[in-house]
A and B are shown apart, each in its own frame.
Chain A
Amino acid sequence: MSRMPSFIRQHLAGLRVLIVLTVITGVAYPLLVFGIAQVGFHHQANGSMVSYQGKVAGSSLLCQEFTGAKGNPLPQYFQPRPSNAVNPDSKTGYGCDPGFSGASNLGPNNAELTKTIKQRRAEVATFNGVTPASVPPDAVTASGSGLDPDISPQYAYLQVNRVARARHAGPAAIRALVSHHITGRAIGFLGEPGVDVLTLNIALNQKFPAGR
């Protein structure tokens, strides 16, 4: 050992140290956290999945598309934000694909983005029968993850009348359901208020099944 050049000795020591520390931080540690998390926080550790009629319907942390066969938004469901999480190989162009999380990365002065935003504003306004100026920012911008499960309370309220019409329900009842599903700021000041679209739509299916 001592006859070996110190250059090689250093690197051999490095390799042994790396292997030992890999076993500790790369095998034992993650397995420990995994084990405790699976026992103590089973629901969260497995993706905070939610069910409808006894069947898993998705994760309350990930957005879903509520669109028809041709990709058009279904009026009887609350719609999520625009999404860039799209499988480039798929023909549908659906967003909210957790296999392809990501953002548009278009800049604040990008002409293409400006055009897209204006187009979305017009579409959302027409679809919901409201004025373009009343459409909130989150309805016309894509999130960073492409998987944003939330919309702003403003965007949720804006969709109430359209959903009520499609479900043959009273707007007041739908509005009350939305209010019930608003998550306020945690401990009063952390983050921004939002509405989880998937859990809201599940509640909608349960309480106002007409038009499903």
Chain B
Amino acid sequence: MSPALAGWLQVGLLLVALGVCWRPLGDYIARVVTSASHWRAERGLYRVMGVDPAADQQWGAYLRSMLAFSAISVLFLYGMLRLQHYLLLSLGMPDVPPALAWNTAASFTTNTNWQNYSGESTLGYLVQMSGLAVQNFLSAAVGIAVAVALVRGFIRSRTGTLGNFWVDLTRVTIRVLLPLAIIGGLVLAAGGVVDNFTSPHTISTLTGGHQAMVGGPVASQEVIKEMGNNGGGFFNANSAHPFENPSPFTNLFEIFLILVIPFALTRTFGAMVKDKRQGYALLAIMAILWLASVAGVTFFEAQHAGQAAQAAHAAMEGKEVRFGIPGSSLFAASTTVTSTGAVNSFHDSFTPFGGGIVLFNMMMGEVVPGGVGAGLYGILILAIITVFVGGLMVGRTPEYIGKKIRPAEMKYAALYILTTPAIVLFFAALSIALSGPRASILNPGPHGLTEIMYAFTSMANNNGSAFAGLTTATTWYNTTGGIAMLLGRFAPQIFALALAGSLARQQAVPASAGTMPTHRLLFVGMVIGVILIIVGLTFFPALALGPFAEGLH
């Protein structure tokens, strides 16, 4: 069988698996976030937490709870990293220095998981398991909570309330993420992902040499790292490391985990707004752009343009034999259209256009299907912008899901769309302009510009993958990266919740003959057009000087 055919059969199997899970998982999440009753165990937890689960929060209160929780999370993680030396299972690793601890705490709390450290030589097991992996769960749950709050803005009317943040956070963690993580973690362990508490030690090799042997509670962290779209590897090599991703089967399973919740949330949306067709439309937008980028990356990697790749007869630098070109390209496309950022091959060594597409994937703002939760609220904002553009064309007040899109709503949507590109371009421009940060570039020429663009696109969009040749373990990148990640996460979330509050206060308007249908193919095409035009207008100059200049040379 040719690698290409095998590669497409692999995509086919993935599509079947995602298709089978889409409806039950989406409906289940909808039930979890709409159910009026609390589990007995949850009631107990709420008492210990000291929160009132019955309180229905205005958007401002929901936002303040979310921000307070995230601020505490950053501080808590920062403290653990700074005091690592005193913790259990530290494996003798020293305290993490301040700039790196700041970057890492911001990174994991914002669901980015950008890593300026190498796990196996920086962190002990307790910090990984009870610090970082906890944020893998909770930052994902926060994303889903914000998405659900925005959907409630559409389905509620003449009320300012959006639900209870603490209840959403707890339920999504306990009822959705935790059971799936237990099952998935065991599947990975069965497939060869290590899970032990053995301290690093030395073994004798076959020829009598010495080799360091590493371990850790990896399987339990690996599953939530993929499923929560976090992406922070236990080891430096991330999902290329055989202890994180040992076989073609675990590879496909991890790609499945990356995509399953973001896609299923479109079903959750359809179920919550009681119009399943709306969920199908969003699913179609996401699936089309995801498959297009899988095809694109696979094509360019198989073509192996570039002097080095040509000299090697294939683009195998930075890729594993067991995954090959198809398995690496599928992973790369899937990890960048979601906000995961885990890698099973190293994007810096991808061909100019293959690497350009994974950069473009992140520039789309992580919406196809995007991060867990973040993808849904992102695509809803783009849908609003699309009905606005449609409204301009025919001269009617735009509507979406029974709510009028008035100037107030449009302002929040526009702010949402502009924030992340502004952060990316501001910090990337500064890093290019200043000689110190510029010296971090590894590869000369246009590829070096792409390295810096990639870094800030990844951080501001909370992806976390890297053109890892760029030396980012510096005070500059640690500090500015931390700021970019926090702004890129919380500013859009503030606008999304403000928009939700504004929508929830409105009276619902019944659909009329003049309402633009938002479940048809025309709308799907228009949203795709809006996404591509926004990315094109914003980033074309940078893409032209980076991947295009290198690829067309």
Q: For the complex, is B313 an interface residue (Cβ under 8 Å from A)? A: yes
Residue of A nearest to B448 (CB): A107
- On chain B, the residues within 8 Å of A143 by CB distance are 240, 318-321
A143 vs B307: C-alpha distance when bound (angstroms): 18
Q: For the complex, is B305 an interface residue (Cβ under 8 Å from A)? A: yes
Point out the residue from A17, A81, A111, A118 that lies within 8 Å of B49, measured CB to CB: A17
Point out the residue from A24, A65, A150 that lies within 8 Å of B174, measured CB to CB: A24
Interface string of A10-52 (1 = CB under 8 A from B): 1111111110111011110110111011101100111110001
A185 vs B5: C-alpha distance when bound (angstroms): 12
Stretch at the interface among B99-107, B195-203, B357-365, B455-463: B195-203
Minimum CB–CB distance for A114 against chain B, Å: 4
Known: A106-B469, A108-B350, A146-B237. A13 touches B48 (CB 8 A): no
Minimum CB–CB distance for B550 against chain A, Å: 6
Residue of B nearest to A43 (CB): B192
Q: For the complex, is B212 an interface residue (Cβ under 8 Å from A)? A: yes
- On chain A, the residues within 8 Å of B186 by CB distance are 33, 36-37, 40-41
Point out the residue from B118, B130, B442 that lies within 8 Å of A22, measured CB to CB: B130
A26 vs B204: C-alpha distance when bound (angstroms): 34
Q: Could you tell me if A11 and B72 are in contact, using CB atoms closer than 8 angstroms?
A: yes
Q: Could you tell me if B220 and A29 are in contact, using CB atoms closer than 8 angstroms?
A: yes
A121 vs B197: C-alpha distance when bound (angstroms): 41
A108 vs B323: C-alpha distance when bound (angstroms): 19
Known: A55-B204, A110-B447, A144-B318. A185 touches B212 (CB 8 A): no
Known: A61-B192, A65-B209, A189-B5. A102 touches B237 (CB 8 A): yes
Interface string of B331-346 (1 = CB under 8 A from A): 0000000000001111
A-contacting residues, B199-248, CB 8 Å: 200, 203-207, 209, 211-215, 217, 219-221, 224, 235-237, 240-243, 246-248
- On chain A, the residues within 8 Å of B213 by CB distance are 47, 59, 98
Total chain B interface residues with beta-carbon distance under 8 A: 125
- On chain A, the residues within 8 Å of B322 by CB distance are 148, 150, 183, 191-192, 194
Q: Could you tell me if B9 and A30 are in contact, using CB atoms closer than 8 angstroms?
A: no
Q: For the complex, is A171 an interface residue (Cβ under 8 Å from B)? A: no
A149 vs B247: C-alpha distance when bound (angstroms): 11
Point out the residue from A10, A57, A81, A190 that lies within 8 Å of B248, measured CB to CB: A190
Total chain A interface residues with beta-carbon distance under 8 A: 100
Q: Could you tell me if B248 and A185 are in contact, using CB atoms closer than 8 angstroms?
A: yes
A81 vs B204: C-alpha distance when bound (angstroms): 20
Known: A14-B68, A29-B181, A100-B236. A141 touches B316 (CB 8 A): yes
Q: Could you tell me if B69 and A18 are in contact, using CB atoms closer than 8 angstroms?
A: yes
Residue of A nearest to B346 (CB): A103
A100 vs B121: C-alpha distance when bound (angstroms): 8
Beyond A17-B170, A20-B48, 19 additional contacts (C-beta under 8 Å) are A11-B72, A13-B65, A17-B169, A34-B220, A36-B186, A41-B186, A46-B196, A56-B203, A58-B211, A66-B207, A67-B209, A107-B550, A114-B311, A138-B321, A186-B248, A189-B6, A189-B7, A190-B6, A192-B327
Q: Can you sample 14 A-B contacts with CB below 8 Å? A: A24-B178, A30-B133, A61-B243, A94-B209, A99-B120, A104-B317, A107-B442, A109-B447, A143-B240, A146-B237, A150-B321, A190-B10, A192-B248, A202-B206
Residues of B near any A CB (own CB < 8 A)? 1, 3, 5-7, 9-10, 13, 45, 48-51, 64-65, 68-69, 71-73, 76, 118, 120-121, 129-131, 133-134, 137-138, 166, 169-170, 173-174, 177-178, 181-182, 185-186, 189-198, 200, 203-207, 209, 211-215, 217, 219-221, 224, 235-237, 240-243, 246-249, 251-252, 304-309, 311-324, 326-328, 343-346, 348-352, 355, 442-445, 447, 467-469, 550, 553
